[in-house]
Structure 1
Amino acid sequence: MVTLKGDVEGDGPIVAEVPSSTAGKEGVIIQEDWDLDHEEKARRIAEDDLNRKHKQNYKGFILLWAAWQSTGVIYGDIGTSPLYVYSSTFTAQPTWIDLVGALSIIIWSLTLIVTIKYTFIVLSADDDGQGGTFALYSLLARYAKIVRNEPHVTHTVQLERPRTGDMRPVGRNIRAFLEHSRLAQYALKVIGVLGVSMVMADGVLTPAQSVLGAIQGLKVIHPNLATSSIVGISIAILVVLFFVQPFGTSKIGTSFAPIVIIWLLFNLCSGIYNLAVHDYTVLKAFSPHYAFTYLARNGNAGWQSLGGLLLAFTGVEALFADIGAFGKRAIQLSWLCLAYPCLLFAYIGQAAYISKDTTETAFTNPFFYTVPPGSFYFSMVIAILAAVVASQAMITSSFQLLSQVMRLSYFPHIKTVHTSRKFHDQVYMPLANWLLMIGTIIVTGVYNNTTSLGNAYGVCVTIVTLITTTMVSLVVIIVWRLPSPVALLFFIVFGSLDAVYLSSVLRKVPQGAWFTLVLALILSSIFILWRWGKEQQWAAEAKDNVTPSQLLQLSPTSSIRNGEIDSQNAPQLTLTSAFGGGTLSTAAGLGIFFDKVGGGSNTIPKVFTQFLRKFKARPDVIVFFHMRPLSMPTVPLAEQFVITRATSQIPSCYRITLRHGYMDDVLTPGLGQKIVQQLEEFITRSGETGTKPRPEDLSPAIRAELDALDRAEAAQMVYVMGKQVMRIRRGGGNVVTRFFRMAMLETFLWIRENTRTKLADLDIDPDYLVEVGFVKEI
């Protein structure tokens, strides 16, 4: 006999007591104790996955390989600046004192901004291995309650907020201000998103600037080369460059590295040669005195020339943005041991040549005029190759940053391809790649020369460096918990440098820099709009958490006497009145319901609730199936599936979580068979010691449960997915507020309906797929 307890007529919980040898007439076992050990194990695994560290620390050969790759990707932009810095700074032959002053500014900018600020400080402010201004925002969100996280998602930001007593008074007060000021939280969000948008805007501009600059060098050999020919050749090269992106960062970086290394070493040798042959006295530029006197002596003209001198470190933001692809140590190694000394000697050597140039023309094309005798054609070839490679830094940065904002729900899900098993955060995004290509081609055709592009170049870089300085200052106080004078010193020194450069370059805005600013504002608006729309969606979906007792109750028509039901009559379940009522029939087969949020053990997926409400039927065997992506290439088969019984109130109902890596192909036609195999193993070991028992040792209850699974599999296997259609709920407020809210939500919903779903790679026979539609108002 099956003993039932609970409120038969009402909505109270249904609890069943089943002896180990008892089964219902359909062979379905209802258990009161539904494997608490497995439930606890599943909870621990979920916590481990949530707190898993994704940061990779390379050593030995792998570290050298990553440093090699980073050279081929990161330093193409900042490494090709010797082609045009002096020509962008001076309009006439400079005096020795002005030349040394400008060189001093270049030396100390590379030393202070790139080496000390970025290489040693900013690279240490990564968010679990990720870089960029949005990573800084995410890092702050781990240590202060400044962001609303998506519920039930394992890859969201985990709070690591230190106790108040563990913080210094200034840090405690700043954190309290950020946590209680909605305006400050919104400002931080906008600043973080704006920094990402500006780097991506530069991702459109940089390839056009570098390739056009390289091809325009052909005019040295063919002065009559038409502008249309230069633009055509540049566009052809850009198309090829974007078409090689699917090969991945690792292959591209490994292939491009020899070009960049040869380029940097050539600049090193050329600089040493010019320094030895022409004017070694320019080494006095290592004294910052010459930088200060240059600015004081030239006044407004010196201040304006900073707009050209800052080109010496454009591309510095790629060092931080690309840290996820290569790691901090690899970037530090490649910069300090190769790029930094080579660039210093390049600028010093050019200054040595220009100071003794009697023709007074060398400053107009500082690289080609200053190469050692007999190396002109080699320098032309390697310069063109290096300039083409320079585009890669910002393309890779765009992929890295977009993956960050997408992971934290600031951008809709688009296809992301992980291109390396060894380096986990190297990604390629087809849609982003083609959009970047189209934008770059348009920019190349419209601007058609580096002078016009130069006017649009540099503003975003300086704004990003200032944003980075501001956010790292907060990290110093809140995350690193260092004394406030340390953070203040950092902000004053580097913020002043950033502000001086920014004030100079802002005069370019009317001349062309408005383009990148407008593009960055458009991207920022999309990111913020999507996040706001997702928060509205989450608030609506939070009301959908349904427990079994809220959904189901025991049928009042069941034959119950003295709390017992005849074993020939299986208990019948009915829907509660809140879900339309009605007795549930049982359909032969196995139903796999995709559960996108992976809710707790006492909640029912929305798709299953809607299935029952619409069909008044349930499959013989029910599986709530949730996929949990992990930041690793593969997950061993033995560790992929986490199985528990979903609820004691629904017979033969299981909850399965599939843990998978980015290289695992799991949504395949064989998924159903794999689920059945895992369920058989789970049921067989249910209540046992963990080792698989022999078939003859199985209890009647377990054999009955296995028989039910076999019958369901033999009948049919159906995948059930939810199709959530969102509609805008009419709200209160004045006419302007309602119109503004409706316009934003309509835009959000349009983007949502026209972007890729997370299950777009589902590779199963459509004959076995059922979509259950339902409406959700936001």
Structure 2
Amino acid sequence: MAQAESDVHAGEAFVGIDDDEEKARAIAENDLQGSRKQASVIYGDIGTSPLYVYSSTFSAQPSWQDLVGALSIIIWSLTLIVTVKYCFIVLSADDDGQGGTFALYSLLARYTNISRRDPREIPGIRLQRFETGDLKTGGKSLRGLLEKSRTIQFFLQFIGVLGVSMVMADGVLTPAQSVLGAIQGIKVANPNLGTSAIVGISCGILVAFFLIQPFGTSKIGTMFAPVVAIWLLFNLCAGIYNLAVHDYTVLKAFSPHFAFSYLVRNGHEGWKSLGGLLLAFTGVEALFADLGAFSKRAVQLSWICLAYPCLLIAYIGQAAYISHDETKQAFTNPFFNTVPPGTLYFSLVIAILAAIVASQAMITSTFQLLTQIMRLSYFPHIKVIHTSQTFHEQVYMPMANWLLMIGTVIITAVYNNTTSLGNAYGVCVITVTFITTCMVSLVAILVWRLPAYIVVPLWLVFASLDAAFLSSVYEKVPDGAWFTLLLAFILSCLFTLWRFGKECQWEAESQDQLSPQALLFPTTATKGPVALTSTFGGTPISTVPGLGIFFDKSGITDTLPPSFFQFVIKFAARPAVVVLFNMRPLPVPTVPLTDRYIIRRVSEIDSCYAVTLRHGYTDNILYPGLAQDVVQQIAISIAKGRRNDMTAAELDMMQSSRNSPTVYILGKETIKIGWPSVLSPKAYLRSWLLWTFLWLRENSRTKLADLDIDADKVVEVGFIKEL
């Protein structure tokens, strides 16, 4: 036919720029525009940490040595963990532009055989496993260990899922922490304001913010573009002012000697205070998780040129003020108590706006991660609305949005202040950074093929930093961190359960791959009687007038979809014209009509065509006129193809099908659990897990829920599979 059968990747849908210089300018312009939006979205979370870091670290006025020691830890944490590790190393470990711990697991799964896949989606699989000889010695041994051990494979899968769950749990806490921290500034102006009023104002702001999420990350980012930039620059100016007016000697904190001295001098209490100091880099996980919504270069530019220097000076300036504070209360509200005279009300307004954007950073991360886990079959399909023509992963999920809103409002009301919330906040962040450190190290050896003697020392450095913070923050579990850990554990179990059920479903469905020869006899494209094969009773097949469009999930060549062969077996009939219809999404906004259809003749069956519809994420493909467009594209393909004695008859058949009844046939799969005959705890556990999976499956949204076709033209063919 006119179109080739080979898979077409997303890049083919783009129109290239011939001139290299023009292309370079376009890329640079996009990066700079993206950089501006990063400041308004990604850095909202980490950028608002100056509101509460010192108050979460100290319970009494610190000495100069302790203050500078804590400042030194903040400086080197932002430098080593955020700048060096995340900006220059972790951001390079993306999976086709996607970020987050699960993207790391997905990347590893593409380069090592550690994950089971849906056998009916073979055309979409791109296993890029290197030859053994291409790996370094350490890489060969490591890959062999991963591919042979089912225990290690499950562990990798679980920590990947756990990382996603931790970020999502943090997404419930971040809006509450940021907005409460900003609203508490009102107490500086009005000390008589009660806690209930602060909580009420915070909840009102949070509800309003979740209500504007349908506008999308891009529009919200543009709306708030100046906010965090102004916020960061204000922190920069305030820091410089405090440094010049109060105590410039705190600049000694750039020496790591003060950080080590602080920990040694304070012993156990110094170690515990790391749980408060790590709040300085909460939000770092958003840099990586939001990568799908923006570009890597934009993240790096905006951090190095704007966020990093502004935050450093902000913490240094606060320390300079606190060190000479005669009231000995400045540390309790470190941002509002240290702003320059006459700027309190301005700082209050800009802090509230920045806190709102901080909430956006984690909401965006949650949407990104949900998109990833749905694509990789770890979560049921929920409604996804694409909100950008430029970035594929800028999405809005109504159900997730409302659940986040409810959770955040409840958390705000229960914890009611940043000190209490700080006990629960941060445990997820440092857990995610530790998981990320370990998984990026595996990527470096197995994907980047770096020698182990380079990777292992770097892993030891960053893992030791993460472990120090991690060990301190887990002391907060009884004081509130239990909530985030429990929420993350529940989400992890849900994701793992869904994946387990899907793998069992795939195994059962793999038996449903029938070839035309296994179903019909004789299988020729000539006119004449056709019957089912002896396997299915040998019943003659009658032909009924009309066009039948059978939805084909996999689109695998030389196999028939269950919707078709179940229809033929049950009714001993087939439509005059059969279309096996497969939809293949591409990560582009739209696919031109001329490039949208891949059509081939199924030579074994008369008047049967396999049609693959490639579409972008903004294309409306399931609409009332779909059948007419499919028939037209098939006719065009026939006319452009090699002509023979059958060409005229085929064209006549397609013409007559335009005026014939049309029916859309979907497969309706009912899954039943085969309860074990042998009494064993493992078998019964499996059955109960599958029962839970099936309950979730029956109550989740189907991928064809947006089918905008007349209901009286849709037929569901039911069949039963046993797990």
TM-score, length-scaled by structure 2 = 0.96
Moved more, 231-240 or 745-754: 231-240
Distance 1:645 1:406 in 2: 33
Q: CA deviation at 1:72?
A: 0.8
Which amino acid is the alignment partner of residue 111 of structure 2?
Y
SS at match of 1:152: helix
**Larger CA Rg, structure 1 vs 2:** 1
One of 278, 291, 297 as aligned partner of 2:265: 297
Partner of 1:506: 474
Aligned partner of 2:531 in structure 1 is 574
Q: 2:594 aligns with which of 629, 632, 638?
A: 638
Distance verdict in 2 for CA 1:735–1:483, change over 3 Å: closer
Uncovered stretches (5+) of structure 1, i.e. residues with no partner:
1-34, 556-563, 689-698
Read off the aligned partner of 2:543 and give its amino acid letter: T
Give the Cα separation in 2 of the matches to 1:274 and 1:414. Answer: 50
Q: Choose from 603, 620, 623 the match for 1:665.
A: 620
Letter of the 2:692 counterpart? T
Per the alignment, do residues 378 and 190 of structure 1 end up closer, same or farther by CA in structure 2, a change over 3 Å counting? same
2:123–2:556 Cα contact (<8 Å) kept: no
Structure 2 counterpart SS, 1:649: coil
Deviation at 1:213, TM superposition (A): 2.0
Matches for 1:103-118 after TM superposition, within 5 Å: 103-118=71-86
Q: Once the 2 structures are TM-superposed, how far is the Cα of residue 228 of structure 1 from its aligned partner?
A: 2.5
TM alignment of 1:370-381, pairs within 5 A: 370-381=338-349
The aligned residue for residue 623 of structure 1 is 579
2:559 is paired with a residue whose SS is coil
> Please, which moves more after superposition, 129-138 or 351-360?
351-360
- The answer to whether the Cα contact below 8 Å between 2:173 and 2:408 also exists between their aligned partners in 1 is yes
Question: Given that residues 216 and 387 in structure 2 are in contact (C-alpha distance below 8 angstroms), is that contact kept between their aligned partners in structure 1?
Answer: yes
Contact 2:10 2:588 in 1 (8 A): no
Q: What residue is the counterpart of 1:649 in the other structure?
A: 604
Of residues 516, 523, 529, the one that matches 2:491 is: 523
The reply to whether residue 737 of structure 1 matches residue 694 of structure 2 is no
Which of 154, 157, 171 pairs up with 2:139?
171
Measure how far apart 1:356 and its partner are. 1.6
Q: For the residues of structure 2 that align with 1:362 and 1:717, how far apart are their CA atoms?
A: 74
Which residue number in structure 1 is paired with residue 540 of structure 2?
Answer: 583
Matched, 1:89 2:57: yes
The answer as to whether partners of 2:185 and 2:336 remain within 8 angstroms in 1 is no
Q: CA deviation at 1:632?
A: 0.3
1:612 to 523, 543, 568: 568
User: Quick check: 1:452 aligned with 2:397?
Assistant: no
The number of residue pairs the alignment matches comes to 715
Comparing 230-239 with 178-187, greater Cα deviation is found at: 230-239
Contact 1:155 1:407 in 2 (8 A): no
User: Secondary structure of the residue that 1:366 maps to in structure 2?
Assistant: coil
Aligned ranges 1:53-452 → 2 under 5 Å? 59-153=27-121, 156=124, 158-452=126-420
Aligned-residue offset at 1:680: 1.0
Offset, 1:448:
2.3
Closer/same/farther in 2, CA of residues 332 and 189 from structure 1, 3 Å limit: same
Q: Decide whether aligned partners of structure 1 residues 211 and 597 sit closer, same or farther in structure 2, where only a CA change above 3 A counts.
A: same
Shift of 1:399: 0.4
1:476: Cα distance to partner? 1.3
CA drift at 1:446: 2.1
Normalising by the residue count of structure 1, what TM-score does the alignment of the two structures yield? 0.89
Pairing partner for 1:721 from 658, 662, 666 = 666
Q: Secondary structure at the match of 2:540?
A: coil
Separation in 2, partners of 1:155, 1:497: 42
Q: CA deviation at 1:589?
A: 0.6
CA drift of 1:279 comes to 1.3
The SS at the match of 2:578 is strand
Partner of 1:31: none
Deviations 1:469-528 (A, max 9, x none): 111111111111112122111211110000000111111001110000010011001111
RMSD: 2.1
The letter for the 1-side match of 2:81 is: I
Listed as ranges, the matches of 1:675-714 within 5 Å are 675-688=630-643, 701-714=646-659
The aligned amino acid for 1:133 is T
Once the 2 structures are TM-superposed, how far is the Cα of residue 716 of structure 1 from its aligned partner? 1.0
C-alpha distance in 1 between matches for 2:595 and 2:120: 21
Supply the distance in 2 between the matched residues of 1:712 and 1:357 (Cα, whole angstroms).
85
- Structure 1 contact 250–419 (Cα < 8 Å) conserved: yes
**1:170 Cα deviation from its structure 2 partner:** 0.7
Which 10-residue stretch deviates more, 193-202 or 455-464?
455-464
Q: Deviations over 1:56-92 (max 9, x none)?
A: 9972221111111111111111111111111111222
> Which amino acid in structure 2 is aligned with residue 578 of structure 1?
T
Q: How far 1:365 sits from its partner (Å)?
A: 1.6
Q: Distance in 2 between matches of 1:751 and 1:658?
A: 29
Q: Counterparts of 2:587 and 2:195 in 1: how far apart (Å)?
A: 47
The one-letter code matched in structure 2 to 1:658 is L
Change (3 A) 1:106 1:454: same
User: Is the 2:386–2:395 contact (alpha carbons within 8 Å) kept by the matching residues of 1?
Assistant: yes
Q: Does the Cα contact within 8 Å between 1:88 and 1:309 map onto a contact in 2?
A: yes
User: Residue 47 of structure 1: CA displacement?
Assistant: 5.5
* 1:259 counterpart letter in structure 2: V
Offset at residue 152 of structure 1 (A): 3.4
CA contact (8 A) 1:141 1:157 kept: no
Contact 1:50–1:154, Cα closer than 8 Å, also in 2: no
Compute the displacement of 1:630 (Å): 0.5
Question: Against the structure 1 CA distance between its residues 388 and 715, is the aligned structure 2 distance closer, same or farther, given a 3 Å change threshold?
Answer: closer
AA aligned to 1:660 is H
CA distance 1:106–1:211, shift in 2 (3 Å): same
Q: Distance between the aligned counterparts of 1:220 and 1:580, measured in 2? A: 84
CA–CA distance in structure 2, aligned partners of residues 389 and 112 of structure 1: 25
Residue matched to 2:549: 592
Identify if the C-alpha distance between structure 1 residues 489 and 388 changes in structure 2 by more than 3 Å, giving closer, same or farther.
same
Q: What SS does the corresponding residue of 2:185 show, helix, strand or coil?
A: helix
1:5-59, Cα deviation, whole Å (9 max, x unpaired)? xxxxxxxxxxxxxxxxxxxxxxxxxxxxxx6x85xx21x2x16459999xx9972
701-710 vs 512-521, which moves further: 701-710
* Deviation by residue 1:678-706 (Cα, 9 ceiling, x = unmatched): 11112222315xxxxxxxxxx65311111
Cα distance in 2 for residues equivalent to 1:390 and 1:505: 22
